[in-house]
A and B are shown apart, each in its own frame.
Chain A
Amino acid sequence: MAPQGENRTDADLTGEPGSSLHGVTGHEVFPYINMDTVPEEATDLKGRKFSLPVDSEHKAKKLKIYSFARPHMLTFHLSWISFMTCFFSTFAAPPLLPIIRDNLGLTKTNIAHAGVASVSGSIISRLLMGTICDLFGPRYGCAILIMATAPAVFCMSIVSTVDGFILVRFFISFALATFVSCQFWMSSMFNGQIVGLANGLAAGWGNAGGGITQLVMPLVYDLIAKNIGADNFTAWRLAFFLPGCMHIVMGLIVLAIGQDLPDGNYSSLKRSGDKVADTFFKVLQYGVTNYRTWIFTITYGYCLGVELTVDNIIAQYFYDRFDINLTIAGTIGSTVGLMNIISRPAGGLISDMAARRFGMRGRLWALWTLQTIGGVLCIGLGLLGSLGPSVVVLVIFSIFMEAACGATFGIIPFISRRSLGVISGAVGAGGNVGSILTQVLFFSNPSYSMEKGIMLMGVMAIACTAVLFLVYFPQWGGMLCPPSKATEEDYYGGEWNEAERAKNLDRNSLKFAENSRSERGRSRQEQTSDSAPSTRV
């Protein structure tokens, strides 16, 4: 059988890799990752047909949300539900804080320290999780983390001192690293053309756990305190058995029916040749020395960071400022997290739509606009003094902030091909660092009231988003500057030195460079589609 690429005409190439890239075709012979839909013989391990169209790596090319079919859609649901469980337990304490603070005698400073602790643990664990997924697979990574943090959740029922409370919140926050395993798992199961949507949906629905918990925990507390008649200081402790049991159940389900790759688990597959054997230090070097990594760490710190901070403080803020009962304060607080269900994927979509017309410059402007409007609304939230308008502004603010989170991850895959894992991990961790910084600066100071803290948080968000103006891609331009004559191959190929290029180690980067020409935007697309396709062998 002749190699596929050679005898086909341009007409045959519609529907091939690049058909969504405005007619640009990736006309390569070998080596390349085949983006064709494999014909009907594609079968899974047990010889059954896949229920979704797949590519040659058996990654799905379509997303059917209402389906639980193995392996792709089942994985999608397992991974977002386990990520949601971890967000649920990390932010289970804030809606119950008005009771907990009386039980343990917490001061405002203690609560702020606990809030900082609740987002610090995941910095370390998110950075490690990438490596663990690489070595052991996302199924083990997710299940081990979820089941290992379950004891910390049960410890919350046993704490009776301030330090105990802070420590327990720190250890529970390790569970937030399931973000990394979730995204890694999606990337293993879904083809590059829809992995953005799959990742955005899974991350958004997982983040919504922070909102669901603010609804559910006060309801569970009410059920136990009023219907079962336990003392209030006992009822909140019993309520924590819910997230604890969710951890155990999800961990066991993931181990029982999850699988790492469409064709099985890491332990029974031999992975050959797909990954260029790269050294950890080289990958780290190119991630760390790329200044864009740090710019996006700062901006994500004031987008996810603001969302995490608000998850921690909002129920208490409404309870104290407006004198409403615990359940209603929790319901209002939950809207922030629940908006994630739609707004995070919507942010990714807005970024993609902007890119189709204006390329990477459109993505940057979209991100800046969304995040700055979010910052302005945050300032407004701090200034408003009455309940109704505060709730309205809170909802709109959370939509914009979470859309900005989704839009950020529309840009991250293009910063580097070689160090994508390191950069994703650093940016993700940056979100947590931003939350820590905000809580330390604005919410642990006794002289700042909570409304002043919220207002200052909005000001800082706007200031930190402004660094986006410094981002410049030579091949696509920046927010204010047009592109230079550099090409995508120069940019991505520049991450490899001469010796490595001689050994053809940069082949995946160059393939990616070809596919990323869509980031030029529509007007420059029309120029490039006339030029000869690449004939790199």
Chain B
Amino acid sequence: MASLQRLVVTVIMVITLATGVRNVEGVLFSSLTRTLTVIAQIQSENASAGAATVGVDSVSIDWSLDSTIPSKVGENYAYVKLELCFAPVSQIDRDWRNTYDDLDKDKTCFRELTTQRYRNAGDSFVWRIPKNVPGAYYFVRAYALTVTGVEVGYGQSTDDEKNSNLIRIIPITGRLRVMDFAGILFSLLSVVSLFLVLAKEARAQAFSGIRIFPIDLTVVPNVRGI
């Protein structure tokens, strides 16, 4: 009995501890200063479309330290991380893309493009858009990281309201002609084979006549054995 009590207490303690453990809070976005300038442009053969197609087009990103910021600030920076982020118009009614101040919880920037070494003069990157990017409106954000990888500054290719200079990406549908064809074929297979079996059984019954099987389920006991 005593050992059972101890077991119960231990279990309760473990559950309480596990519930109590919280992640250390990450860096808050509101604590970062906008120190980088980021320019993102679509590189497309179909330049007039104003949108990038996955698998075909690329996005070229140029980033540098903002000219109004003294270069002394840049001494703290070791790396720059480029990320693709959803614009507010693509976040509406989609909780899984919500913006949170805590960068560990934030879902705005869903795809990391690259991490480059920091240089005061800046750098550029050309990102060939892969096929698994969803269709939406995006902007590019650059986080300035210290040597330990902690965010201390940022820049983005749009304004603070995230409404201008947005990049529209056109996705694949994921459908294949072969798959469409196979789907229709299998559906027909299902329906046709059903009809064939039913028709066969109807014909078999018609040819053999109606068989009457003497099952009388309110059987009077003394007729057992028939």
Chain A positions near chain B (C-beta within 8 angstroms): 1-5, 30-34, 38, 41, 56-57, 98, 101-103, 105, 107-109, 140, 143-144, 147-148, 150-151, 154-155, 157-158, 160, 231-234, 236-238, 241, 244-245, 247-248, 251-252, 255, 263-264, 267-274, 316, 319-320, 384-386, 388-389, 392, 446, 449-450
26 CB < 8 A contacts A-B = A3-B221, A3-B222, A4-B222, A57-B215, A98-B96, A144-B198, A147-B191, A147-B193, A148-B190, A148-B191, A157-B183, A158-B175, A233-B132, A233-B174, A236-B174, A237-B175, A237-B176, A241-B182, A241-B186, A244-B183, A248-B190, A248-B193, A252-B197, A272-B217, A320-B95, A392-B15
Report chain B residues within 8 Å CB of A108.
93-95
Task: Mark interface residues in B1-39 (1 if CB within 8 Å of A CB, else 0).
Answer: 000000000000001001101100000000000000000
Q: Which 4 A-B pairs have the closest CB atoms?
A: A233-B174, A274-B217, A151-B187, A4-B221
Tell me the bound Cα distance from A194 to B96 in angstroms.
48
- CB-nearest residue of chain A to B94: A107
Report chain B residues within 8 Å CB of A446.
93
Tell me the bound Cα distance from A449 to B95 in angstroms.
8
- CB-nearest residue of chain B to A140: B198
Report chain A residues within 8 Å CB of B180.
157-158
Question: Do A251 and B217 form a contact, CB below 8 Å, given A160-B175, A234-B179?
Answer: no
Do residues B210 and A109 form an inter-chain contact, with CB atoms below 8 A? Answer: no
Do residues B221 and A105 form an inter-chain contact, with CB atoms below 8 A? Answer: no
Tell me the bound Cα distance from A237 to B135 in angstroms.
17
- Interface positions, chain B 192-226, Cβ under 8 Å from A, are 193-194, 197-198, 201, 205, 210-213, 215-222, 224-225
How far apart are B88's CB and chain A's nearest CB, in angstroms? 14
- CB-nearest residue of chain A to B221: A4
Residue B172 interfacial (CB < 8 Å): yes
Number of B interface residues at 8 Å Cβ cutoff, please give it.
51
Report chain A residues within 8 Å CB of B222.
1-4
Do residues A148 and B213 form an inter-chain contact, with CB atoms below 8 A? Answer: no
How far apart are A399's CB and chain B's nearest CB, in angstroms? 17
Tell me the bound Cα distance from A475 to B173 in angstroms.
63
Do residues B215 and A271 form an inter-chain contact, with CB atoms below 8 A? Answer: yes
Question: Do A268 and B175 form a contact, CB below 8 Å, given A147-B191, A148-B194?
Answer: no
Do residues A244 and B186 form an inter-chain contact, with CB atoms below 8 A? Answer: yes
Most buried by B among A5, A32, A103, A140: A103
Residue B128 interfacial (CB < 8 Å): no
Report chain A residues within 8 Å CB of B47.
none
- Interface positions, chain B 164-183, Cβ under 8 Å from A, are 171-176, 179-180, 182-183
How far apart are B159's CB and chain A's nearest CB, in angstroms? 25
Chain B positions near chain A (C-beta within 8 angstroms): 15, 18-19, 21-22, 92-96, 131-132, 134-136, 171-176, 179-180, 182-184, 186-187, 189-191, 193-194, 197-198, 201, 205, 210-213, 215-222, 224-225
Do residues A157 and B135 form an inter-chain contact, with CB atoms below 8 A? Answer: no
Tell me the bound Cα distance from A154 to B190 in angstroms.
11
Tell me the bound Cα distance from A236 to B134 in angstroms.
14
Tell me the bound Cα distance from A103 to B133 in angstroms.
9
- From the candidates A34, A41, A148, name the one contacting B221 in the complex (CB within 8 A): A34
Tell me the bound Cα distance from A57 to B186 in angstroms.
40
Most buried by A among B180, B183, B224: B183
- CB-nearest residue of chain A to B219: A56
Do residues A245 and B131 form an inter-chain contact, with CB atoms below 8 A? Answer: no
- CB-nearest residue of chain B to A446: B93
Do residues A247 and B216 form an inter-chain contact, with CB atoms below 8 A? Answer: no
Tell me the bound Cα distance from A148 to B217 in angstroms.
33
Do residues A234 and B174 form an inter-chain contact, with CB atoms below 8 A? Answer: yes
Report chain B residues within 8 Å CB of A386.
18-19, 21-22
Tell me the bound Cα distance from A449 to B193 in angstroms.
46
Report chain A residues within 8 Å CB of B134.
102-103, 105
Report chain A residues within 8 Å CB of B174.
103, 160, 231-234, 236-237
- From the candidates A151, A234, A241, name the one contacting B176 in the complex (CB within 8 A): A234
- From the candidates B179, B198, B216, B221, name the one contacting A237 in the complex (CB within 8 A): B179
Report chain B residues within 8 Å CB of A269.
211, 213, 215
Tell me the bound Cα distance from A268 to B193 in angstroms.
22
